[in-house]
């Protein structure tokens, strides 16, 4: 359930910032907040697809850092999760990729995710 418009000020601000910083050939923003335990109409979880030649010579990590730096105020003040999908330009234009909604986290997937996070936390703390 993607949303856009004036009823979504944070989404509009994200769109404005990404557009002005990266001049994308294509930009999609999907508000995935409804999939989480937040009040109706929240703007806390987003997925973005950004297609821009500004990313051409950058590694995936560098691209993520640029987007995160661009949206640092939003990430500090309300945005809880930001999933970023990049697609590079080619000589024929960008290889179109549909921005798919993330699967809902529930049941076995939620248990698996909690298990993986617990294992990662244990590994990180035992490594030091």
pLDDT digits (tens), the chain, 128 positions: 444 445 789 999 999 999 999 999 889 999 988 888 888 888 888 999 998 888 888 899 999 999 999 999 999 998 988 999 887 655 445 555 554 455 554 444 444 444 444 444 444 444 44
| Domain limits, the chain | 9-100
Domain 9-100, what fold?
Answer: GMP Synthetase; Chain A, domain 3 (3.30.300)
- How is the beta sheet containing 45-51 ordered, strand by strand? 26-31, 45-51, 81-86
CA distance 112 to 61: 26
Supply 30's token pair.
């999907």
Paired strand residues for 50: 27, 86
The CA dihedral of 40, 12, 82, 74, to the nearest 10 degrees, is: -100
């Amino acid at each position: 359930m993607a949303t856009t418009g004036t009823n979504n000020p944070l989404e509009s601000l994200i769109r404005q910032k990404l557009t002005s910083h990266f001049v994308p050939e294509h930009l999609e923003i999907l508000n995935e907040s409804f999939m989480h335990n937040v009040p109706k109409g929240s703007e806390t979880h987003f997925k973005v697809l950004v297609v821009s030649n500004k990313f051409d010579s950058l590694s995936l990590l560098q691209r993520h850092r640029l987007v995160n730096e661009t949206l640092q105020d939003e990430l500090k003040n309300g945005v809880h999760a930001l999933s970023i999908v990049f697609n590079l330009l080619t000589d024929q234009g960008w290889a179109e990729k549909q921005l798919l909604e993330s699967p809902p986290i529930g049941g076995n997937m939620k248990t698996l995710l909690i298990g993986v996070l617990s294992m990662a936390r244990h590994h990180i703390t035992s490594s030091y």
